[in-house]
Amino acid sequence: METRTLEWDTPMYRLAVAQLDQTAQLMGLQENLWHRLRTPQRAHVVSFPFRRDSYDVVQTVFGYRVQHLTTMGPTKGGIRYDLGVDLGEVTALAMWMSWKCAIMGLPFGGAKGGLRIDPRQFSPAELQRITRRYTSEIIDVIGPDRDIPAPDLGTDEQIMAWIMDTYSQTKGYAVPGVVTGKPLEIGGSLGRKEATGRGVVTCMVEACRDLGLPVEGARVVVQGFGNVGSVSARLAHAAGARVVAVSDVASGIHDPAGLDLPAVDRWVAEHRTVQGFPGAEGVSNADLLTLPCDVLIPAAIQGQIDGDNAAKLRCKLIIEGANGPTDLDADRILAERGILVVPDILANAGGVTVSYFEWVQSLQHFFWSEDEVNARLVQLMTRAFTDVLATARQRGVDLRTAAMIRGVSRIAEAKRRRGIFP
Ligand code: GLU
């Protein structure tokens, strides 16, 4: 295909496009639709001056908001604060959001945004100022009917609150529907914070059932102890699994007998790291991936499982909590080795699913109970998992390809129905 895509060209964008190309070829997708989906419909790049707390220091900051697909409804996706953020990364993530929303049957196209900063180097006051300035830079392209941000790597509910406030101040009235993943007090949803982890564990339970692997006592390794990793570990533990290793950015801890997860949570609350947790051995993030276990949950960042380490993994099942943790070489090797991979666009879709519930509640000013949110999430996740598994069996493909076929088909059908203007 001859599309010139130099603007976006980065390893992550190449991965997202290669996945699309593979799927499009396999399903015989019409060439013009295929072309359309390889590049985002809108991509906003901003740069602005940012004054640090020490008044004389002013930095230039780069920010992005990419809207991949506007066919299905408003666009939806998180905002990340990370030094790796660039146009290609944000575009790949926006594409994955499109497939994710389509697989779950949510009325959104994919989007993603971010700032190229290391948020850990910023004071709370700086984070607030930079968030408000970034919001004002993209204010014309977001909105409850237009594009709805949410948390992602390096952002949280407080950042969402500042985005909501900046947007609302500009409009002159409160607009809770402009972001999801916001605090409860300003219209957030019960269950949103745990939603991605709950979706991950729902997929784990379903996949274990399919493999005939009892969840009770299953050995689980979790890479990443941010929101997704820590909740996945906690809920896997609550479901009866034995969480044998977890890690954070720096490194991990391992106990083959199973970690006492509530004690790990208490340790992290006090020390802000899993390191030094009494009674467990230290393990590097790279070695953690190859520990013997039943279920591996990469829930940190992209690019963790590749052609080099895929042959060394000693798990039966991978549930992708992070976006883009596995590359195409690894997919091939894992399929050959009979290791089942539940792909990110299905496994971590619990977050955006409850974001959808939150958006609906914000628009209606009518709130659901936590049980209602959780029950509907589990129902939608289980249905999506069953559908993707059925497609995989029918077409003799892996779960990632099956999930993409389902997502892309739904989008293709919507595009066909809407036709081309003018
Ligand atoms: N950032 C999350 C994701 O990658 C959630 C997006 C959302 O809730 O809109 O799926």
Protein residue with least CA distance to atom 8, ligand 1 = 352
Query: Does position 6 have pLDDT exceeding 90, yes or no?
Result: no
Best of 72, 95, 97 for a ligand 1 pocket test (most atoms within 8 Å of beta carbon): 97
Query: Does position 256 have pLDDT exceeding 80, yes or no?
Result: yes
Over residues 394-416, mean pLDDT: 97
**165 within 8 A of 197, measured Cβ to Cβ:** no
Q: Which atom of ligand 1 is nearest to the CA of 153?
A: 1
Q: Where are the domains of the chain?
A: 6-174, 195-347
Q: What is the model's pLDDT at position 5?
A: 75
Q: In which band, very low, low, confident or very high, does the pLDDT at 184 lie, cut at 50, 70 and 90? A: very high
CATH of 195-347, one of 3.40.50.720, 3.40.50.40, 3.30.470.20, 3.40.50.300: 3.40.50.720
Q: Give the full edge-to-edge strand order of the sheet including 42-51.
A: 42-51, 58-67, 109-115, 75-81, 147-151
Over residues 339-348, mean pLDDT: 98
Q: What is the model's pLDDT at position 121?
A: 96
pTM of this structure: 0.97
Residues at CB less than 6 angstroms from ligand 1: 76-78, 150, 152, 180-181, 323, 348, 351-352, 355
Distance of CA 78 from the midpoint of ligand 1 (Å): 5
Domain 6-174 falls in which CATH fold? Rossmann fold (3.40.50)
Distance of CA 359 from the midpoint of ligand 1 (Å): 13
Mean pLDDT of the chain: 97
Nearest to 319 by CA among 192, 169, 203: 203
Q: Per-residue b/e over 165-199, b at no fewer than 16 CB within 10 Å?
A: bbbeeeeeeebbbbbbbbeeebbbbbbbbbbbbbb
Nearest to 318 by CA among 99, 51, 338, 414: 338
Q: What is the model's pLDDT at position 3?
A: 61
Domain 6-174 matches domain 195-347 at the CATH topology level: yes
Distance of CA 150 from the midpoint of ligand 1 (Å): 6
> pLDDT, tens digit, for every residue of 118-156?
999 999 999 999 999 999 999 999 999 999 999 999 999
Could you give the residue numbers annotated as active site?
A: 112
Q: Which atom of ligand 1 is nearest to the CA of 151?
A: 1
Q: What is the model's pLDDT at position 1?
A: 53
**CA distance linking residue 38 with residue 53, whole number of Å:** 41
Protein residue with least CA distance to atom 7, ligand 1 = 352
Query: Does position 248 have pLDDT exceeding 70, yes or no?
Result: yes
Best of 80, 355, 373 for a ligand 1 pocket test (most atoms within 8 Å of beta carbon): 355
Cα–Cα distance list, 101 to 120, 221, 260 (Å): 30, 27, 35
